[in-house]
């Protein structure tokens, strides 16, 4: 008895389609892919802005594949607010146990996996009530009564209102929770892709040995910049379209700080870091910060703490503050008696250079890190009055 393989009329066509969809990756630079991967590594929600059919969904599939995590795609424009806030379920005794809010299936799958990427597509086509319900998902990672695991990343995509069907501007509270990246196409990349080859997605990997110094460097840079430009700490744009994009606020500055720290710790490309930072705080503030960083050139705080006698204090006031903030942050990241005392040697140099006012704020922060068992070092003498007034060092 022979067994024959039965084929349908579409089997050959399906095989042809499978072959046509196959592609390979090659090493190539894609700033938008690098910026997306950087923001995802920093675990900051990302919003991709681009025209329909430009490859946002395909980019997300490649990202999830590169990360080795599941991808859940949710078309925001076809959902109701209750799909994100949760559907009420009546239990045996609502007066005693309350009414739990049942999460949707995609959230349950991500919670079970423990990690992954949720991709909210067509966000700008979602009505304001749905956008409001999404606020809690993006900010608190809560869907109904379910909290998404911390490793779950959030990415969204939107078409500009002019090209979106029944599009709305994003509400300022929702927009300010995303890194906004412009998703464009390069005709040469598309042509190469049609030949079967697309750019390779490289996921940035944090070097743990650089993490402490990276955070300290980012804290010093952002703190120094905002000290020099306090008006940029919060600036809500006047027109609705701009409010639906990236703009500076304490929340988005914290996002920019994390992006810088991740960039420093991973060795990410400067263009990708710049695109991500501008996507967090907007064009105006972002370009000013990047220009400031180009001129900053701070010493490595860890190296300075290892040998505090061998460094020279920067000459400009904002650079001095940025450097001293980075030093204190570095001490906080690995607070030992030796490093804490080295921090006071660094601050003492600022006093000797005739800028005790610049060092005063850093001195209060450094004093707060003191273990009560540690003796007061000699370098603290110049700050005793300030610290006693502030209560930062009552035993001084």
User: How confident is the model over 74-99, as pLDDT tens digits?
Assistant: 998 888 888 888 777 776 666 666 77
pLDDT value for 396: 43
> Which residues are CB-neighbours of 364 under 8 A, at least 6 positions away?
386, 387, 390, 392
User: In angstroms, what CA-CA distances link 38 with 69, 215, 262?
Assistant: 16, 15, 7
Q: In percent, how much of the chain has pLDDT > 70?
A: 91
Look at residue 49 and tell me whether its pLDDT is greater than 70. Answer: yes
246-255, 303-312, 334-343, 352-361 — most confident range: 246-255
pLDDT value for 50: 87
- pTM summary value: 0.83
Q: How far apart are alpha carbons 90 and 97 in whole angstroms?
A: 10
- Chain mean pLDDT for the chain: 86
| 53: number of Cβ within 10 Å | 9
- Split at pLDDT 50, 70, 90, the class of 382 is low
pLDDT value for 376: 78
Burial status of residue 264 (CB atoms within 10 A of its CB: 0-12, 13-18, 19 or more): buried
Look at residue 230 and tell me whether its pLDDT is greater than 80. Answer: yes
DSSP state of 102: E
Look at residue 63 and tell me whether its pLDDT is greater than 70. Answer: yes
Residues 112-122 have a mean pLDDT of 94
> Which residues are CB-neighbours of 243 under 8 A, at least 6 positions away?
169, 170, 172, 175, 236, 237
Tokens of 313: 């204090």
Look at residue 384 and tell me whether its pLDDT is greater than 80. Answer: no
> Which residues are CB-neighbours of 119 under 8 A, at least 6 positions away?
57, 60, 71, 72, 73, 74, 155, 156, 157
Lowest mean pLDDT segment, chosen from 134-138, 166-170, 343-347, 380-384: 380-384
Q: Return the CATH superfamily for domain 46-177.
A: P-loop containing nucleotide triphosphate hydrolases (3.40.50.300)
DSSP state of 219: H
Query: Domain coordinates of the chain in residue numbers?
Result: 46-177, 299-396
pLDDT value for 83: 84
- Split at pLDDT 50, 70, 90, the class of 320 is confident
Q: How far apart are alpha carbons 223 and 221 in whole angstroms?
A: 6
> Which residues are CB-neighbours of 74 under 8 A, at least 6 positions away?
106, 118, 119, 120, 121
pLDDT value for 241: 84
Q: Could you read off the pLDDT of 232-285 as tens digits, one per residue?
A: 999 999 888 889 999 999 999 999 999 999 999 999 999 999 999 999 999 999
Q: Nearest to residue 209, comparing CAs of 300, 320, 342?
A: 300
pLDDT value for 165: 55
Given a contact cutoff of 8 angstroms between Cβ atoms, the answer to whether 370 and 347 are in contact is no
Look at residue 198 and tell me whether its pLDDT is greater than 60. Answer: yes
Q: How far apart are alpha carbons 74 and 90 in whole angstroms?
A: 26
Given a contact cutoff of 8 angstroms between Cβ atoms, the answer to whether 321 and 222 are in contact is no
- Split at pLDDT 50, 70, 90, the class of 115 is very high
Which helix or strand (DSSP H or E) is residue 306 part of? Answer: helix 301-306
DSSP state of 307: S
């Amino acid at each position: 008895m022979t067994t024959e393989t039965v084929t349908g009329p579409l089997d050959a066509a399906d095989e042809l389609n499978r072959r046509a969809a196959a592609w390979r990756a090659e090493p190539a630079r894609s700033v938008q892919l690098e910026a997306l991967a950087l923001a995802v590594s920093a675990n900051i929600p990302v919003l991709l802005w681009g025209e329909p059919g430009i490859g946002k969904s395909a980019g997300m599939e490649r990202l999830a594949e590169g990360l080795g995590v599941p991808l859940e795609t949710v078309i925001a424009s076809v959902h109701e607010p209750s799909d994100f806030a949760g559907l009420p379920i009546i239990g045996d005794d609502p007066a005693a146990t309350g009414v739990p809010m049942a999460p949707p299936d995609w959230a349950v799958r991500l919670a079970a996996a423990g990690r992954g990427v949720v991709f909210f597509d067509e966000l700008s086509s979602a009505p304001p009530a749905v956008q409001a319900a999404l606020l809690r998902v993006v900010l608190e990672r809560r869907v109904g009564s379910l909290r998404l695991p911390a490793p779950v990343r959030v990415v969204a995509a939107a078409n500009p209102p002019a090209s979106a069907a029944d599009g709305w501007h994003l509400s300022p509270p929702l927009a300010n929770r995303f890194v906004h990246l412009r998703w464009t196409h390069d005709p040469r990349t598309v042509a190469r892709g049609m030949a079967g080859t697309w750019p390779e997605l490289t996921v940035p990997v944090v070097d743990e040995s650089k993490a402490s110094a990276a955070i300290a460097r980012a804290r010093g840079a952002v703190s120094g910049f905002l000290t020099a430009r306090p008006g940029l700490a919060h600036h809500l744009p006047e027109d609705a379209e701009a409010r639906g994009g990236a703009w500076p606020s304490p929340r988005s500055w914290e996002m920019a700080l994390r992006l810088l720290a991740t960039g420093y710790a991973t060795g990410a490309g400067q263009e990708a870091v710049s695109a991500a930072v501008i996507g967090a705080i907007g064009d105006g503030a972002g370009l000013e910060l990047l220009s400031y960083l180009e001129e900053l050139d701070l010493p490595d705080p860890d190296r300075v703490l290892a040998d505090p006698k061998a460094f020279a204090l920067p000459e400009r006031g904002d650079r001095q503050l940025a450097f001293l903030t980075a030093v204190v942050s570095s001490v906080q990241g690995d607070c030992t008696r030796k490093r804490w005392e080295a921090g006071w040697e660094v601050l003492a140099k600022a006093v000797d250079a005739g800028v005790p006012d610049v060092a005063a704020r850093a001195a209060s922060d450094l004093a707060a890190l003191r273990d009560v068992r540690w003796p007061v070092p000699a370098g603290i003498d110049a700050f005793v009055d300030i610290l006693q007034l502030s209560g930062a060092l009552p035993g001084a």
